[in-house]
Amino acid sequence: MWLTQPFTERSTQLFIGVLLAALALVTVLHLAVPEGHPLHVTAYTVNLFGKYLSYALLAVAVDLVWGYLGILSLGHGAFFALGGYAMGMYLMRQIGDRGVYGHPVLPDFMVFLNWESLPWYWAGFDMAWFAFLMVLLAPGALALVFGFLAFRSRVTGVYLSIITQALTFALMLAFFRNEMGFGGNNGLTDFRDILGFSLRSDATRLGLFLATGVALALGYVVCRAIVGSKLGRVCVATRDAESRTRFLGYRVERFQLFVFVVSAMLAGLAGALYVPQVGIINPSEFSPIFSIEIVLWVALGGRATLYGAVIGAILVNYAKTVFTGVMPDAWLFALGAMFVLVTVFLPKGVAGLLAYRVKRPRHSSDDTSTPQEASA
């Protein structure tokens, strides 16, 4: 089966092995090591790692379209946020009558706005299966419509980047409006429990962390399977020479659309796992700067490697946590400098450095891992 095929690759085995080992290690250090011991991992840290892992999944989704399809999406934050909102709506409905106003059906912000009943698009979100389906379908549908229009008229390169940015910007403005019914400026927050488990208990946090880890592993395998298949080869061909691929008889736009939609769904899944762990979703996730930051994670980790995206996401976000804690003013300087330095001096990212170290003694070259810059 095509999904099992990636497991024959050494890099996938290595990645999955390291990831599972890390998950196990964190779990053991959190549960088995007594509190106060220097090796103990606190619930806060578990939660933080869970957040990083959901970012990593998002980065993998971006790497799939940027690294292997040559589409620099500056709007993947929109898919992430849509998945997050779908999850947030489910969590809002789970609050029930425990809100500040104690309304049995309506979330607090709707009571506050004097709304009489739930808008139609909130229907069904009290059921977990429906909400989890929407986590994938909502971003997928947006990507389908947007991608269909864009790829059909062969909007590529910088143009596509700019209109994806416009897309997420427009969505951000829309979600800021109270009339939209998504909580406006404040977004959705004050969640209580998920599937019956309290979001405030340490056990649920550990569970979410592990679930995110597993989702990341699955997402990675799916992407690896796509990339390694014939379809993936067409994608790489499209990335490097779109016209030539078209002349060879491939309907380029269909491949682009398929991969774009898969990537959007993965991003939505990442958003859905992110929201219960941070406890809030608001329109700032739609902001163009967030979307462009995701691209930096991928660039820093190493484009078109998938595992590089994971490394980049974790490294940058860890740096962000450290910097904003120690000297908040310096963070934007550091982030800006990273953008400049990585693109100028480290075009293949950290993964490129690693590959260089590993591969130098042996004589081999992996042609799919080096995108042609000119085509981008």
- Tell which phi-psi region holds residue 116, choosing left (phi > 0), alpha (psi between -120 and 50) or beta: alpha
CB of 209 to another protein, least distance (A): 30
Strands, E assignment, the chain: 188-189, 193-194, 197-198, 280-281
Of 24 and 353, which CB lies nearer to another protein in the complex structure?
A: 353
Name the site residues for another protein (rule: CB under 8 A): 72, 146, 149-150, 152-155, 157-159, 161-163, 165-167, 169-170, 173-174, 176-177, 288-289, 292, 295-296, 299, 329, 332-333, 335-340, 342-344, 347, 373-374, 376
Of 23 and 59, which CB lies nearer to another protein in the complex structure?
A: 59
What phi and psi values does residue 329 have, to the nearest 5 degrees?
-65, -30
| Structure-block tokens of residue 304 | 């078109």
In whole angstroms, give the CA distance from residue 71 to residue 177.
Answer: 30
CB of 58 to another protein, least distance (A): 17
CB of 324 to another protein, least distance (A): 13
In whole angstroms, give the CA distance from residue 327 to residue 25.
Answer: 30
In whole angstroms, give the CA distance from residue 332 to residue 63.
Answer: 23
Of 43 and 335, which CB lies nearer to another protein in the complex structure?
A: 335
| Structure-block tokens of residue 31 | 């549960």
CA of 313: how far to CAs of 113, 143, 351, in Å? Answer: 38, 23, 12
CB of 66 to another protein, least distance (A): 8
Of 119 and 157, which CB lies nearer to another protein in the complex structure?
A: 157
CB of 372 to another protein, least distance (A): 10
Of 295 and 311, which CB lies nearer to another protein in the complex structure?
A: 295
